[in-house]
């Protein structure tokens, strides 16, 4: 067992509530735990993350059947963004027009997807479908081509997906085009023509230029990968309907804000636009009274 303490505020109950939207997550909100599938070198392991502290004084216990190395510990810390103090960000937004949202949802961190390839596949699968069906398709994909360990589902690796036929993916009720995006992108990663796990050394702009050339990867997918795959702090997807609706509600508008309005408002939120995005999404999601008590 590994024990970790971090600086507050950090609200793990909100983390679990947001993660619970994804049916592939293994979460116990009452016990305040989530099981994380990951690899120790090439061996799949499951790390159970248990919150033992409070929002003001956060602490956690990590348990695993394998002995966790510094590599796995750092990966967990990165996923849950334990190395990113939220107090500085809260202080920044206390002086902006998002102050009330940040106060209401204090301690909500930007939690990453458990793996960069998983994030990319999920982004592609989620393109142009509603959220409920997107999760259903992703679940089918993982259950069909991934594997289970200790009750936790692992996404397939790109090398495994690269060997599939398009028809095996379309059988999951995905379009032929989406099957091509999934398979072709996985082949690029498997052949190292797309060094996915080296992207973090590049700037946001360099990653956009690199990925946008790949068929099936547009600006929306890149923004989501930067945000939830790499945890980049200054992204604001203006075209996102959820953010538009949140701003409409916040500003008391009769219709959705214009691009120019959003660009003007966002100037005050830099260099933490990703957190502005997260808290705006949070403001129209199930609220505190619906969280586990």
Q: Which of 193, 240, 254, 268 is catalytic?
A: 240
pLDDT per position as a tens digit, 124-134: 999 888 888 99
Q: Which residues does 178 contact at the CB level (< 8 Å), separation at least 6?
A: 124, 125, 127, 169, 216
Strand order in the sheet with 33-40: 2-5, 59-63, 43-51, 33-40, 26-28
Concerning whether 113 is annotated as a catalytic residue, the answer is no
Domains of the chain listed by start with CATH number: 2-83 (3.30.310.20), 89-105+231-293 (1.10.1670.40), 116-218 (1.10.340.30)
pLDDT tens-digit map of 61-97: 999 999 999 999 999 999 999 999 999 999 999 999 9
Q: What percent of the chain has pLDDT over 70?
A: 97
Provide the pLDDT for residue 288.
43
CA atoms within 13 A of residue 263's CA, in its CB half-sphere? 4
How does pLDDT run across 99-121, given as a tens digit for each residue? 999 999 999 999 999 999 999 99
Whole-angstrom CA distances from 132 to 23, 31, 56, 138, 258 are: 10, 26, 33, 10, 27
């Amino acid at each position: 067992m590994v024990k970790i303490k971090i600086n507050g505020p950090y609200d793990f109950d909100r983390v679990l509530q947001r993660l619970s939207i994804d049916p592939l997550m293994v979460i116990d909100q009452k016990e305040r735990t989530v099981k994380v599938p990951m690899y120790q070198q090439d061996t799949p392991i499951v790390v159970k993350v248990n919150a033992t502290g409070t929002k003001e004084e956060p602490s956690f216990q990590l348990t695993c059947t394998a002995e966790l190395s510094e590599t796995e510990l750092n990966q967990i810390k990165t996923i849950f963004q334990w190395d990113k103090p939220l107090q500085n960000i809260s202080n920044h937004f206390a002086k902006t027009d998002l102050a009330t949202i940040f106060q209401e949802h204090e301690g909500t961190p930007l939690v990453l997807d458990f793996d960069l390839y998983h994030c990319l596949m999920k982004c592609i699968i989620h393109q142009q479908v509603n959220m409920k069906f997107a999760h259903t398709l992703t679940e089918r994909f993982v259950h069909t081509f991934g594997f289970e360990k200790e009750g936790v589902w692992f996404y397939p690796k790109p090398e495994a997906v690269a060997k599939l036929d398009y028809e095996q993916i379309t059988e999951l009720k995905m379009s032929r085009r989406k099957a091509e995006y999934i398979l072709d992108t996985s082949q690029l990663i498997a052949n190292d023509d797309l060094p996915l796990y080296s992207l973090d050394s590049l700037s946001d702009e360099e990653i956009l230029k690199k990925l946008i050339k790949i068929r099936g990867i547009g600006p929306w997918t890149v923004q989501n990968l930067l945000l939830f795959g790499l945890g980049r702090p200054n992204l604001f997807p203006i075209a996102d309907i959820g953010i538009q609706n949140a701003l409409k509600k916040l500003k008391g508008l009769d219709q959705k804000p214009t691009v120019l309005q959003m660009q003007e408002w966002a100037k005050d939120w830099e260099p933490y636009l990703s957190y502005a995005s997260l808290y705006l999404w949070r403001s129209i999601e199930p609220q505190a009274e619906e969280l586990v008590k």
